[in-house]
Structures are given as C-alpha cells and as structure tokens.
Chain A
Amino acid sequence: MIRAKGFSVPELLIVVGLFSGFLLTSYALLASGLKVWDRTSSSQEAGFQLAQARAALRRDLSQASSLQLEIARLPGSAEALTEGNVLWLLSAEDEGSGMMGQLEDGTPLWQRNIIYYAMAPSDHAQRFGQACGRQPGHCPHLYLIRKVVDSGVSTNLSSPALNSETLLRVSQIGNYLTPPRGFMVSGGRGLEKGEVVAQGLVDLSFRIKPGGLEGEVETTISVFNVQEAGQKVSLGRVDLRENSFTHKIRFSGFPAN
C-alpha cells in the first residue's frame, strides 16, 4: 500500500493559524515600538528646545540688573508690566568680543539691549503647510527670538561714560517685535544680532517678583510635541497650552548686577 506524502488539511490549518498569530503579534509589537521611538525622540527634541531656551535666558538674566529690565505684553502693550510675553534687559557684554564692560566704580557699563519674544515666522503657512491663526496658545510653531540691540549712539568700551546703553522704552519696543523670515531675524534700529534660540513654542511668559521678592524673573515656556500628537490634535483650532502633548518648564533667573 502506498502512503500519500505531505500534510493533512488540519495540520496546514494549524500552521497557517500559528503563523498568522505570530505575524500579527510581530506587527503589533513593531507598531508599538515605533510609537515609543517616535514619542521618545520627539520628546527629546522638545526637551532640547526647552534646554536651549533655558540656557540662553538664564545666562542673560544672571548678568542683568533687576532695575534694568522690563516686561510687556505682545502685541502693543502701552506700559511695562509685571507679567507679559516680551522681556528686554540691559547687558554689559559686548556680543562680538565677549568683553564685559565695567565703569571705574565697579558698576556695569551697559552695552546692549537684549530682547526676548516668541513669534511665528512670516512664511508660516509655506513652512508648516497650514495656518494656525493668531489666537494665543493655538500655534505650536512659535520661535523664541533673541535680539541684541545697540540703540542710540553706538556703545563702545573706549569712551564708556558717554555711550552707555539705556534701556529701551516701552513705546520703542514694538518696532523690534517683528516676525522672522524662516530663520532670518531682522527688524529694528540698531539691531546687531538676531537669532532663533528655540522653536516649536506654544507659549512664553515672564513674571517679575513671583515669590514677592525683588530680584527674580520667572519664565514659563511651553513646547508642543507635534510629532507625538500626530493627527490626534487639530492644530490651530484648540488651545494647546494645557494639552497632554505639551511640555512645560518653569524656571527663574536672578539678575545679579
């Protein structure tokens, strides 16, 4: 009697079933692995942007004076406030050479105004493929901009007493709060340097004397994790400031001069 070689139908069904189960599980694992990878890498990116912003602000604030800084609210606030989203201060450092200016009595020779604010680039729609509107907290594509300004008569270390930089007035600051074009920062009389310190911001706010004592400036920065949020959040339509995909840091600078 000749015995037929090969597999029976039940055997084949079992193999196919096991193989399908294995494939499905592998797919589920791969998908969740990719999700974790995305989440980790995009949250690392958000953390990196926040760290950049923190480092720049801490450095400038530590060299500033609490008597030589102001806060206002964008757009068009007419007076200096204790809470706002634009900060400007005087710095004794010459950005080009890194030299700190000091007068004979040991007080700082103020050389530059430094301005911080957050704004979306003027080519936002082309760059991000959509418009997010102008409502506060709705756009996750804001850039943190730092401008170094030598206003009025040019300040230099050779004749310090004559040319000490003075703090910009609230009425003047509006001229400097211009959107960047891509990463090109321009705008404002006496602009010596403009840079994008961090990107992906949703919100930026400054507060003077949060603990009730003169000499502290508290900064809160929120970065929205666009990659992690994916399609789950409708950008431009909802307030992202308290969203679960938003990373927020709060830190203080203590002007020492």
Chain B
Amino acid sequence: MEVLLSLGIMSVALLGLLSVLVTGLRSEHSSSQRVAAQDLASQIMGRTCLEIERLDENLAADFWTTDYDQAEAPFRQGREDEFRYLVLTKAVRRKDTGQRLGDSPGAHYNRLVKIDVLVRWQAPQNKGKADFSEVSYSRLLNRRRG
C-alpha cells in the first residue's frame, strides 16, 4: 500500500516537472514568433506611410476622407510567411461633435488619421483551432502640405 502511494506521488511530481519543461519550450518559441511579428508590423507600417505619401491626387483624396476600419474591408491586407496582416485606418474626430479634424475650408492639412497594423498568426499548439495571437502597431499620420 505504502509503495503504491509513494509511486503515485512520484508519478504526479514527474508529470508536473515534465509539463513545466514543455511549457518553457513552448513559451520560448511563442516569444520569438512575437518578436518576428513586431518586426513585420513595423515594416508594414513604414511601407504604408511611404505608400500614402506617394498616392496620386484621387487616391489621396479617397484615403483622407474614407475610414477603412473594418477587418472585412481594410486599407491593405496580406500574408507573409505564417503571419497575416491588416492595415486599418480611421480619421481622428472631435470628441464633442464627432466631426473629422480639418474639415473647415482651407484646413484639410490638419486632418489626422490613425493607422493600425494588426499582425496575426496561429501558434503551432493552436493549429486547427480558432485561437490566434496578435500584435498591433499604431501611428497617427497627418496630411503633408504640397
């Protein structure tokens, strides 16, 4: 009886230790994926800002007057390696009136748009499940004169 009891306790302790080791390895992998996702988010943000700076007049007018803040219809989206990214944009508005900044005549260079880059990926242990990890990178952009 005593032998069985001690074997049981030992087995539980061993299983506990093993699970700690496995968790450690998983979290290390997840942390390196997170760093890669952050680098990608920063890269996509830089590219988006460059692209916006160089939009032709019509596209620029569209960008500065339209919100692309729905995940179903983002400003840009794509996939790189195991990561999927979305670029969402939303005009900054006055809190009291809800009016977009820079809507007064001659003041449209005061427009301010918040850009969010979302990078999502599925960790190996979550493959086949709906769970995913995500990092985001945000930046405020104002319209450049001339």
Contact = CB atoms under 8 A, between A and B. Distances in A.
B17 A249 contact: no
24 contacts: A14-B3, A18-B3, A29-B14, A29-B18, A36-B25, A39-B25, A39-B28, A40-B28, A54-B39, A211-B50, A213-B47, A213-B50, A213-B51, A213-B54, A215-B50, A216-B50, A247-B32, A249-B35, A250-B40, A250-B43, A251-B39, A252-B46, A252-B47, A254-B46
B10 interface: yes
A35 to B, nearest CB: 9
Contacts, number: 55
B73 interface: no
B42 interface: yes
Interface residues of B, number: 24
Contacts of A14: 3
Contacts of B18: 29
Interface of A: 14, 18, 22, 25, 29, 32-33, 36, 39-40, 43, 47, 54, 211, 213-216, 218, 247, 249-252, 254
B28 A43 contact: yes
Contacts of A213: 47, 50-51, 54
B24 interface: yes
Interface of B: 3, 6-7, 10, 14, 17-18, 21, 24-25, 28, 32, 35-36, 39-40, 42-43, 46-47, 49-51, 54
A107 to B, nearest CB: 17
A252 B43 contact: yes
A216 B47 contact: yes
A193 to B, nearest CB: 27
Contacts of A214: 50
B113 to A, nearest CB: 18
B21 A33 contact: yes
B51 A252 contact: no
